[in-house]
A and B are shown apart, each in its own frame.
Chain A
Amino acid sequence: MKQKRWLWFFLLLALPLHSQTTNENGRLAEGMIDDIQRTVEDDDAGGLPQDVSVMVIFSNDIFLRNAGYQFSQFRYRTRGYESRFEERYINGVQCNDQIRGMFNYASIGALNDMTRNGDANNYFAPSTYSFGSIGGTENIHMRAGSYTRGGKLTFSLTNRNYYARGMASYSTGMQDNGWAVTASIGGRYSNEGNIEGVFYHNMAYAFGVEKEMNKGKHRLSFITFGSPVERGQQGSSYQEAYNLTDNNLYNPNWGYQNGKKRNSRVVKSFDPTGILSHMWKINDITTLTSGLGVHYNRYGGTALNWYNGPDPRPDYYRNLPSYHRENKVAFNYYTYLWQKQGKNNISQLNWDRLWQANHVNNTEGDGSAIYMVEERRKDLFETTFNSTLNTQLSQRVKLTAGTGFKHSLSKQFKTVDDLLGANYLRDTDKFAERDFPGDKQTIQNDLNRPHRNVYEGDVFGYDFRYQVHSADLWFQQEHSYRYIDFYFGSKLKYTQFRREGMMRNGRYPDNSYGKGKVHSFTDYALKGGLTYKFSGRHFLTANAVYQTIAPLVENVYISPRITDIAAANIESMKLFSADLNYIFSLPSLAGRVSLFTTRFYDDMKHFSYYHDSERTFVNHLLTDIDKVHHGIEAGINYRLNETWNFDLIGSTAEYYYDNNPEGVISYENGKGTGMAEKVYMKDYYVGGTPQTMGTFGINFFRNYWFLNLNINGFSGNYIEISPLRRLASNYSGILPPGTNGFDETLYDAYRHLTNQEKFGGGYTLDFGIGKIWYLPHRSSVNFNLTVNNLLNRKDIRTGGYEQARINLDYPDRFASRYFYMQGLNCFFNLSYRF
């Protein structure tokens, strides 16, 4: 029996592109995958983008399982899609937020025992709980009654952002009296993880109860969970800084304060969720599932800010040796200071110096903070209702239909976190102060309370709300016949949002305060698919979808912090996606080979960055972006015998921009607004994910020992381009070769600044070992150890982005920021099940 369970695992991997609930039989697989967490969590404040999370992988598709797990360390995104196209549900309630469009994996951190069961839908295949999304859909089952009776203790050690994790959970299972209860607590900890200055404090809880009534006709369940975390962040930096410190994981965010390491960027997040769900088995063939989810997120990320003081960041370009390269002595001295240990080292923040500057300003100046730490808050309150009907119209026709409502309130503001000894902070805009000298109006952040002094805990700078409402209605119908299956479906969705300003900003006195204009969108989607069954072992499937998607509220305002003004041409994005798949399932060989193409039209994107020569924050809003994602993907498993099997999984694709969108630039200091200019982005690649990725895996299983070795290869990873570098006006004086007045240096600078950097490809090796011991009384102990990047390669760039600033005389001066993969890293997991 137990051996057969293991066989199930591989069968599951090779099953065709249809949804399949993992169940008790799939449990063994978790020993290898589910307990392992590889992600770095999101970092929206100018640091690293959110990694693809692997915390929940239910897919039965061999390619997707590997993409979700094996490839995530390369920041691989399936088919190159943004995370907002991956939908996540919990107990049938849609859990992607409406602001960034993403699911917050941090909200279920260290609750792995609770999030182990679920359904996955590959890409936009039909599902039992949603219309679907091109990036796939997963529904996590967190009903108390769906957990097996028993408990589990887990202890993990790793050398990543945290080094210890503990989890304990217990479930009663559905009892004879119709009640089921489940509970879990967990935590992750490090005072300093693998990256300097990055600490991790997390504690998680979940409690669920379910009641079955009328012999299972009604099931009512409630689950609440949360995973508060406080963690230090890593920041990306320049190659020069990595070389100087001889450390590709160099972190510029921290420095010593009073002899103790302090990280300037600390995320504090707490997001309790409660989900009430009801399943009503109306009859043998009809089920109605309804759910109400309430989610609150207190999210804050700290950052240093400074007013009329030198930029304190150690890797600010003027603090790097290269800025001084024209003077050898200065260059060498800066290099020495960067590399020396101990006193006077300048490779990290110097908090003591910041305190000192504030102190002297208290005694000799006006006492307003020169340096301070602010916390940028993005709080969210969401209420979601979903209801889904599943029924059989006939023996061969299945109907799924649903409706959903969601309300989101996002509160975005910043507070004074630490004045670093200063007496107070004057709430005016430092950038406007420089550009509007003597103008006492424009510099105000809040004209309703001008010249205000703020203290620790006070809201300052900006303060606004987003209100987003949406409602949708959808259906899909699946027909299955002897040789042919087909499905079709449609969705209608209404979205509306508005911004509400809580401050009257001096740059936009007439359109910053109060409730703004309502923007509304009506969207629709159509999809259909066909499966041709040559035999029980060979299938050909084809799917297509066309849909419109309302823009994210974050992407429509030119400077959302300070004004209600939106782009002139806001419209829903359109997308068309289609794929063709050959699926086979022979006794020893199984897998899938697919061709896919996806086209995005009229997408919008908002870029925000500090412009050093204009000395202000710049908002660059792009509209009408067209993108193409097309390629081939394959996943094949060959089973030699019960002991050995082999995986070959990979995808090669092109993800690129297909037009030259319109861009609108606005300076946050109010000096310029609505400057429109075409952005030359056509044929540049979408950066941040390898366009070619593959792995070859050797798997061994005998006597409940699991071993595997994977060789991963990747290439075609490009830097994320900055639209500002793709404006013709930046290069207006430059003549092409062969013309009178051709300047080779300038022309080379132009070529350099508009070129898109391609990162080197490479190979890594991963190794895993695990074992399960079954003990009396249905208990078991298992351990597993995975070692990633076994060859300890530290030079693998996994991403990076260009700086917006350019200087034609010094094209290298504003170098790109990069991030690197960690060298050898391990995850050891020991668990006891009872």
Chain B
Amino acid sequence: MQPITRTHLDMKFCSFLLGIILASFLLSCDRDFEAPPLTEPVYTGADANITIARLKQLYATVSNPALIDVDYTIRATVTGNDISGNIYKQLYLQDETGGINIGVDQNSIFTEYRVGQEVFVNLKGLYMISYGGQLQIGYGQTNANRIPWEVFSFYTHKNGWPKAENAQPRTITLDQVNESMVNTLIKLENVYFPDGGKLPFSESDATTNRTLKDGAGRSIIVRNSNYASFAADMLPKGGGTVIAILSKFRTDWQLYLRTVDDCQNFGQPIPEEGGEIPPNPGHTIYYSETFGTADVSARPSIADYNGWDNKSVKYSDASGSVSVRTTKTFNTPHLWFPASKDGYLTIGDINTSAGAGEKLALHYELTANLYDEGSQMNLNAMAVTVDGKEMPVPDKVVSKANNDNNKVYTITLTDIPAKEGLKVEFHAKASLNTCGLRLDNISITTASDEAIVIKPKS
């Protein structure tokens, strides 16, 4: 055995020291992760330039999935999602004009799109889908026309943190249900489930329709998925309040609960029976003209314009003074009837014959240019003639003082004949049109029972 020398020992000591240093270095490395900062989403893209109602109007006639090939952007709030599983692979969006659903191929969308989340949806590249007689936003060549998740994320942008109070239901009664409310969030007070306390929301093997009634005996379907988290819960007893997405499938009006919490204050006395179930308030569109989406920066006259929604219908203006325009406020094409000039829009060859046997109504939107202080006029300056017969247009004075500038009124005229070759003429009379008028969104539909012929656009 070799004697251990001094240098040997030193070397051994140093080696060990080295080893220990190495080891402590290895031990000291720890992996701690900091929580990522939570940044409020802010949308920085193009401003919204179309409303949901307008969008639906534009695509009212689609049957196959129709590509949206215009740079439209809507700004809307999420009112319904799949949080309970009752709504499946859909988001309900709503703005001040209406609601629409959007199909997304993803589970648990609610984790990213909460009720009350404001979103901007860039629509160009998405599709409008007609399903069950209603329009929804979707995609082409995919399962159930749902938008693949990442594609959806590309088009949809959150703005701000979600706030539940951003999604307020509109309180209505069942007789007020109308087409403009489709896919919006509504609230029905003093209603009850006849099967309350007896049946669950859904049978376990299939989506189930339950009936909700009001005190007037009117009723509506509440459609519940067997995959909903509350499917097995009993329908609540007694009277109460229901918040739901109002939906329509073909001719059936339906409600979709978002969560079981949408049934509120049940256990009250059942509202008294009485009255009759009103006829279905649904309506069919026989003619619709939104003046398209063409570029109208050159302010073309009616004769020069070719961006009409309806190519088979003839449009003319005997005066030549009417032009197609957009403004900062009204950023899609509409007609401008200049002040103190006679102006015409004559529409020939409308076919409403499919509406034979129904009551039809003509709707149009009108706004007066009340920019100058003190300006004031009567909207009846726009006379309407249908098939040569002058229609009784409502009398409505609007004024700058009354904040009516750029306020849009929807006018509804009934007793429109159902026939081929129907002629409708709008005539802004030079003597009465003192400020100038804008005309937009003309349509002929089945008439609702509403007596109101003029109302501010909601």
Contacts and interface: CB of A to CB of B under 8 A. Distances in A.
Given A258-B37, A333-B154, A364-B164, A438 B200 contact: yes
B229 A351 contact: no
Nearest to B1: A149
A191 interface: yes
B23 A191 contact: no
28 contacts: A166-B19, A166-B22, A168-B22, A185-B23, A186-B23, A187-B26, A201-B29, A257-B36, A309-B108, A309-B111, A318-B105, A318-B106, A319-B149, A327-B139, A327-B140, A355-B35, A356-B38, A360-B114, A364-B116, A364-B162, A365-B83, A370-B108, A421-B35, A437-B229, A438-B230, A438-B233, A439-B232, A777-B2
A205 B11 CA distance: 21
B148 A351 contact: no
A-B complex: 4 closest residue pairs judged by Cβ atoms? A438-B232, A168-B19, A187-B26, A258-B36
B12 A203 contact: no
A185 B25 CA distance: 13
Interface string B20-38: 1011011101010111111
Interface centre among B16, B115, B116 (most CB of A within 10 A): B16
B59 interface: no
A334 B26 contact: no
A334 B33 contact: no
Interface centre among A230, A356, A418, A421 (most CB of B within 10 A): A356
Given A191-B29, A310-B106, A355-B36, A363 B148 contact: no
Interface string A456-478: 00000000000000000000000
B149 A437 contact: no
A363 B161 contact: yes
Contacts of A595: none
B63 interface: no
A565 interface: no
Contact of B12 (A258, A357, A834): A834
B150 A334 contact: yes
Interface centre among A153, A230, A421 (most CB of B within 10 A): A153
Contacts of B1: 149
A153 B230 contact: no
Interface string B138-165: 0111110000111100100000011110
A390 to B, nearest CB: 30
A201 B111 contact: no
Given A185-B20, A258-B33, A364-B115, 7 more contacts: A309-B108, A319-B149, A326-B141, A333-B148, A433-B229, A437-B232, A834-B11
Interface string B73-91: 0000000000101000000
Interface in B90-120: 105-109, 111-112, 114-116
B149 A151 contact: no
Contacts of A438: 200, 229-233
Contacts of B458: none
B111 A170 contact: no
Contacts of A365: 83, 114
Contact of B2 (A167, A356, A778): A778
Contacts of B140: 327
Interface in A754-796: 777-778
A361 interface: yes
Interface string B161-173: 1111000000000
Contacts of B85: 434
A310 B108 contact: yes
B250 interface: no
B31 A199 contact: yes
Interface string B210-233: 000000000000000001111111
Contact of A834 (B15, B25, B115, B232): B15
B273 to A, nearest CB: 30
Contacts of B16: 151, 168, 170
Contact of A308 (B38, B108, B142): B108
Interface in A406-434: 418, 421, 433-434
Contacts of B228: 437
Interface string A320-338: 0000101111100110010
Contacts of B232: 436-439
Interface residues of A, number: 65
SS class of chain B's interface: helix, strand, loop or mixed?
loop
Contacts of B12: 151, 170, 834
B44 interface: no
A352 interface: yes
B451 interface: no
Given A170-B16, A187-B23, A834-B15, A308 B200 contact: no
B18 interface: yes
Nearest to B19: A168
Given A310-B111, A357-B111, A778-B2, A168 B36 contact: no
B5 interface: yes
Contacts of A328: 141
B8 interface: yes
B18 A189 contact: no
Contact of A337 (B15, B29, B150, B233): B150
Interface in A154-187: 166-168, 170, 185-187
B33 to A, nearest CB: 5
Contacts of B26: 166, 187-189, 201-203
A578 B102 CA distance: 68
Contacts of A199: 31
B15 A151 contact: yes
A318 B35 CA distance: 28
Given A151-B12, A170-B16, A439-B232, A333 B36 contact: no
A592 interface: no
A359 interface: yes
Interface in A280-314: 308-311
Contacts of A418: 33
Given A330-B142, A360-B161, A364-B164, A153 B19 contact: yes
A356 B115 CA distance: 16
B33 A262 contact: yes
A153 B13 CA distance: 12
Nearest to A153: B15
A351 B36 contact: yes
A346 interface: yes
A75 B142 CA distance: 42
B139 A361 contact: no
A4 interface: no
A215 interface: no
Contacts of B18: 153, 168
Contacts of A346: 150
Contacts of B164: 364
Interface string A661-677: 00000000000000000
Contacts of B139: 327, 330
A374 to B, nearest CB: 16
Interface in A128-148: none
B148 A334 contact: yes
B162 A360 contact: yes
A2 interface: no
Contacts of A343: none
Contacts of A482: none
B19 A203 contact: no
A363 B164 CA distance: 10
A314 to B, nearest CB: 11
B145 to A, nearest CB: 10
Nearest to B229: A437
A168 B20 CA distance: 9
Given A203-B26, A357-B112, A257 B33 contact: yes
A205 B24 CA distance: 12
A517 to B, nearest CB: 34
A326 B35 CA distance: 39
Contacts of B27: 187, 203
B148 A258 contact: no
B151 A330 contact: yes
